């Protein structure tokens, strides 16, 4: 019997039909994910202008979260975008942004990437996942870089790498300290190797800034993972974190699958990082500005004006 006949014999028409039916059933289940529908239904329950706190379950009027975006019932920290974060840290009106219009190229001709970037830009009002600039914090002149989880989950591509590198170079030239708020799902896979190269580029800029004896403070916010953790997030002279922030490299499931062990429940939290020496202090959001100001003062930087 020839190979073809053999195959024909084994794949009887009835089997093929059966397989087609199974494939269709699976497709239907996937396209009607119950999880997705439940989430949508829950979302619909909350009236406009309100938000349901995932921790305490209370329905809260959005304006009651305040500019720090903290749940008034249980103190859960909601994520802050870069623009709002800068307002909570820099002295009013002092922030001068760098490279405002720098935007991503598509080095790999990745399908759908330019469209996704455009879409996110329109939705978020930002050109990419980080804002950098110079400001004063309580009168101390400081370079500030703030990553934005609302832009493609704060993924680090060539724009994030280039902007943060330039921020460090500016700080180096002007002998200024730098504060970086990290928040990232990791490298931007649509830029492949170009995105991974940013880790080395930013790290070299951090080293040059450090060689000049200048101060670098990192503030880890939820979530700080992947290539950002593996490079500049963990290179700060002082590493602060917001409470309960997710801090890790690979995801929990990947690690558990690799080491074939169950990880502790608090694994990859700010608190876990603190108790294992990867972070120096956990600072409440409302105290961050004051703590940064004190750190700058302690390191002998001169106050300009409040």
- Residues that bind Zn ion in the complex, under the rule CB under 5 A: 53, 55-56, 71, 73-74, 76
The least distance separating Zn ion from the CB of residue 70, rounded to whole angstroms, comes to 9
Q: Which residues face 127 on adjacent strands?
A: none
The least distance separating Zn ion from the CB of residue 72, rounded to whole angstroms, comes to 8
Cβ proximity to Zn ion, 73 vs 299, nearer residue: 73
Cβ proximity to Zn ion, 73 vs 166, nearer residue: 73
In the sheet with 178-184, reading across from the earlier edge strand, the strands are 96-98, 130-137, 140-147, 178-184, 216-224, 238-241, 281-282
For the chain, give the number of residues.
Answer: 306
Cβ proximity to Zn ion, 76 vs 188, nearer residue: 76
The least distance separating Zn ion from the CB of residue 281, rounded to whole angstroms, comes to 24
The least distance separating Zn ion from the CB of residue 83, rounded to whole angstroms, comes to 23
Measuring CA to CA, how many Å separate 167 from each of 4, 137, 154, 205, 244?
64, 16, 17, 9, 28
Q: What is the dihedral of CA 156, 225, 120, 129, to 10 degrees?
A: -50
DSSP state of 153: G
The least distance separating Zn ion from the CB of residue 53, rounded to whole angstroms, comes to 3
Those residues whose C-beta lies under 8 Å from the C-beta of residue 70, and which sit 6 or more positions away, are 76, 77, 78, 285, 286
- Residue 121 CA neighbour count, 13 Å, CB half: 13
Measuring CA to CA, how many Å separate 270 from each of 106, 257, 273, 280?
34, 23, 5, 10
Cβ proximity to Zn ion, 55 vs 237, nearer residue: 55
The least distance separating Zn ion from the CB of residue 86, rounded to whole angstroms, comes to 25
Cβ proximity to Zn ion, 53 vs 189, nearer residue: 53
């Amino acid at each position: 019997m020839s190979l073809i006949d053999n195959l024909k014999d084994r794949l009887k028409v009835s089997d093929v039909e059966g397989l087609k039916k199974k494939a269709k059933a699976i497709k239907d289940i996937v396209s009607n994910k119950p999880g997705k529908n439940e989430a949508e239904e829950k979302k619909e329950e909350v009236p406009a202008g309100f938000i349901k706190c995932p921790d305490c379950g209370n329905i809260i009027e959005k304006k009651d979260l305040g500019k720090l975006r903290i749940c008034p019932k249980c103190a859960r920290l909601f994520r802050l975008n870069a623009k709002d974060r800068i307002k909570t840290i820099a002295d009013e009106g002092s922030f001068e942004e760098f490279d405002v219009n720098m935007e991503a190229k598509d080095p790999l001709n990745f399908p759908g990437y330019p469209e996704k970037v455009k879409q996110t830009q329109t939705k978020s009002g930002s050109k990419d996942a980080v804002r950098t600039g110079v400001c004063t914090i309580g009168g101390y002149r400081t370079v500030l870089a703030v990553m934005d989880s609302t832009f493609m989950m704060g993924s680090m591509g060539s724009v994030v790498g280039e902007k943060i590198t330039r921020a460090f170079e500016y700080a180096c030239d002007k002998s200024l300290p730098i504060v970086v708020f990290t928040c990232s799902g990791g490298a931007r896979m649509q830029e492949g190797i170009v995105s991974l190269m940013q880790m080395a580029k930013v790290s070299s800029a951090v080293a040059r800034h450090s060689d000049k004896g200048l101060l670098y403070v990192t503030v880890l916010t939820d979530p700080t993972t992947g290539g950002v953790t593996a490079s500049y997030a963990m290179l700060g002279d002082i590493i602060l974190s917001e409470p309960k922030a997710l801090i890790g490299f690979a995801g929990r499931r990947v690690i558990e699958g690799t080491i074939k062990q169950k990880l502790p429940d608090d694994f990859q939290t700010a608190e876990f990082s603190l108790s294992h020496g990867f972070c120096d202090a956990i600072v409440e959001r409302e105290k961050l500005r004051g703590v940064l100001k004190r750190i700058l003062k302690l390191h002998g930087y001169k106050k300009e004006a409040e």
